[in-house]
Chain A
Amino acid sequence: MKKYFNLIPILFVFIFAIRGLASQTKETVKISINGTESNIRVLNHDYDNNMYISMNDMSDLLKDTDKAFTVEWTNKDGQTCVVLKPGRSDSETDTDNNPESQEPTEENEEDNKVNYTRKRIFVNIGGNDYSFYAIPVSEKDYKDCYVNLGEFALASNMDISCYNNAVYINTKGEFDFGKYDLLNSGLPYMADSCLVGDATTGNIYYSQNADEVVTIASTTKLMTYLIIKDAMAAGKISQNDTVTFSQKASELSKTSNGVVRVEPGQTANIMDVISAMLICSSNECSLALAEHLSGSEESFVDLMNQKAVALGLSMDALFYNPHGLPVYDEDVLTVKRQNHLTANDMFKLSSHILEKYPEITQITSIKKTKLSSLNNFEAVNTNVLLYNVPGTVGLKTGTTDKAQSCLVSAYEASDTAGDPHYIVTIVYGAENTQTQSYTSMVLMRYGMQKFNVSELGIVPDNGGSKEIPENLEGLIGAVINTARRHAK
């Protein structure tokens, strides 16, 4: 077990702004791995405690444990990929990195400032490609990758915690946290509203501001999908239909909000159009589907709002278009309007779709595909959780200036009878994509833990034998961490 542990700093490590070059403060912090103390290099990106840890140092520190790994650099689809390859040979010692020789640094902050580029790269951990905003460093004699501590904890699933600016790792335990950690870390408040629950049972594990009205951007397309599928089920349209793009759809495709460039009269298979709408959030495909079913966007929007009533969504659920873009009305004093509802509404909507049309996950779980009837357009999924939470099967991202960054995601779990359950997280109003995906990752992890306990009777593995804290500080941290697990 750990030496004391406060998970709040772990959950509170997040990135405020995504930009290329930014400043980091170099620091060496204390780290304890299974009770053995050492030091590790970190970069605090833009802010204190926004900790990114050196993978080279972590590799050295874990070399004698069952979580040992080596750091390798590759290229994946033209992108930098860092592979944390499990296992380690005795020859794999990087003499350039000797964190044990470096004492924790707190002075001369100006001397410790650096400007590295933080960017989204693939970090392969345990065989899974995680899409993280990381800080790769490549200098004359030094190459390293700094990964956000919270994301590393979630991906590696090691029992990691922070206390008094030191990191504590128990390689035999699992990363877990309780409701108290969510509440006190402030993490849910990184979004305007959020929710995590079991869409199959309707059980909500955690929500924050879930009744607050939020603009929903492209998560609108889930309602569009529902209307289309209902129409298919009713025989009004067919999955073999060919969709024709109108002038309006073509013009939309050529704006800054366009995704798949189409020409008026261009046709495509309806399933490819649906895929483009869901995978790469094609606004023109949403419009084309609406016009294909209803003849006009306005008629389709009426169907959307009727459906909202039929599903029992709140009075705050209102749709103006099938894609989620902002639109101006026709009044003299024109108003920019956007589709809006609440997180609770979206939970109901998602739950209904997953129950009635679970095949949606066959589309929304695709990371990348070519759509043959759309000129082999390569549709790339914008849902980062498909990479960062193995087992994620959807559902939809959304971004506008007002809505900020949104994500409705679903994870497929099974209960003791083997029946599927979908754990759904909803995040609205995160300030950027990284925050949106990080918050969703943590919420999803929390939801999985709650599901494991409530449906499967599984409690997080603390590694079997306890690591006993050997000093008072460690004892306090261990007790606080235990209390956190049992918090009301």
Chain B
Amino acid sequence: MGRRKRRSYIWINVLIIMMFLAVIGAGAFFYINANRIGLVGEWHRTVDVTDEVADSIKAYLREVLSEEEIDEISLPDKIEIDSILIISKDGTMTESVDEVSYYDAQQIAKEALTDAVIHVIEDKMQKTYIETDMTTQELIKEATGMELSDYLDKYGPRMMPSMDELNESYGMNAAYTADRTNIEIARGADIEKCDYALSHGMLVIDHTVNAAVYHKSEKPAEDKNEEDK
């Protein structure tokens, strides 16, 4: 009877050890791959074009205004464009400029330029003491044959890079492999090895040139419900 009891203790111990090893192993697995798993999903970052737009507008106004006068022109505080990064489980990643945010930013820039030009024209007209029943926009239309926004589209300054240029700078279509802290991005024959960090919904990829900071895209509640279905 004693021997049978000893054999059952051994199996229990083996089971316990195996369970312990399994837990350790699982823990180790998740410890090693949690980040890599966390990479997958949709991320976005903002491209700040505020200074670029402001500089373009100022350069355009500099033809007729002094620096002091230019400083008095109000310009937008912030013009940003979203860039969307999608990292897939299958080892591919793509990034591209979000069209909607690009055109929104473009619109803000155009409005800022239009307002600045109208301000300048009205200021100049005020100094000539001309009085007319026509609005500034009506005068511009008669003078140029087109609305001011169309005129500036054609003859005004280029304030922001084009979508293609931004995609050239920020976009990508690549394959990747990643461990806990490193990601290898393969764009064709080009391979870039970067450090990355994940924390609280923020992804930082330390590219060769500079670091890119992304935030996890929050899907709208409706989309989540759609998925659940």
Contact = CB atoms under 8 A, between A and B. Distances in A.
Given A478-B144, A480-B124, A480-B125, A472 B132 contact: no
A476 B132 contact: no
B124 A476 contact: yes
Interface residues of A, number: 23
A468 B132 contact: no
Interface string B139-167: 11011110000010011000000000000
A484 B143 CA distance: 11
Given A184-B129, A484-B130, A487-B131, A472 B117 contact: yes
Contacts of B145: 466, 468
Contact of B155 (A6, A466, A471): A471
A482 interface: yes
> Which of under 10, 10 to 19, 20 to 34, or 35 or more describes the interface residues of B?
20 to 34
B90 interface: no
Contacts of A481: 143
Contact of B121 (A466, A468, A476): A476
A283 to B, nearest CB: 45
A483 B139 contact: yes
B227 interface: no
A310 to B, nearest CB: 42
Contacts of B40: none
Secondary structure at the A interface, as helix, strand, loop or mixed, is helix
A480 B117 contact: no
A1 interface: yes
Most interface-central of B64, B117, B131 (chain A CB within 10 A): B64
A479 B143 contact: yes
Given A483-B130, A487-B132, A488-B133, A475 B63 contact: no
Given A472-B63, A473-B63, A479-B121, A487 B140 contact: no
A82 B228 CA distance: 92
A76 interface: no
B217 to A, nearest CB: 41
B66 interface: no
B109 interface: no
B182 interface: no
Contacts of A469: 143-144, 155
Contact of B64 (A6, A470, A472, A483): A472
Contacts of B35: none
Contacts of A480: 124-125, 128, 130
A488 B61 contact: no
Contacts of B120: 472, 476
A231 B117 CA distance: 68
Interface string B107-135: 00000000001001100110011111110
Contact of B133 (A1, A470, A484, A486): A486
Contact of A184 (B64, B128, B155): B128
Interface string B37-61: 0000000000000000000000011
A469 to B, nearest CB: 7
A487 B63 contact: no
A468 B139 CA distance: 13
B125 A473 contact: no
A64 B214 CA distance: 60
B132 A470 contact: no
A469 B142 CA distance: 12
Contacts of B143: 1, 466, 469, 475, 478-479, 481-482
A468 B140 CA distance: 11
A387 interface: no
A486 B134 contact: yes
Contact of B140 (A6, A180, A475): A475
B33 interface: no
A483 B151 contact: no
Contacts of B130: 180, 184, 480, 483-484, 487
Interface in A342-389: none
Contacts of A475: 117, 121, 140, 143-144, 151, 155
Contacts of A472: 60-61, 63-64, 117, 120
A267 B121 CA distance: 69
B136 interface: yes
Interface of A: 1, 6, 180, 184, 466, 468-473, 475-476, 478-484, 486-488
26 contacts: A1-B143, A6-B128, A184-B129, A466-B145, A468-B144, A469-B144, A469-B155, A473-B64, A476-B120, A476-B121, A476-B124, A478-B143, A478-B144, A479-B121, A479-B139, A479-B140, A480-B125, A482-B142, A482-B143, A483-B128, A483-B139, A486-B134, A486-B139, A487-B132, A488-B131, A488-B132
Given A475-B144, A483-B139, A488-B133, 10 more contacts: A468-B144, A469-B144, A475-B117, A476-B64, A479-B121, A479-B139, A480-B125, A483-B128, A487-B130, A488-B132
Q: Which 10 A-B pairs have the closest CB atoms?
A: A478-B143, A482-B143, A486-B132, A466-B145, A483-B130, A488-B131, A479-B143, A483-B132, A479-B139, A482-B139
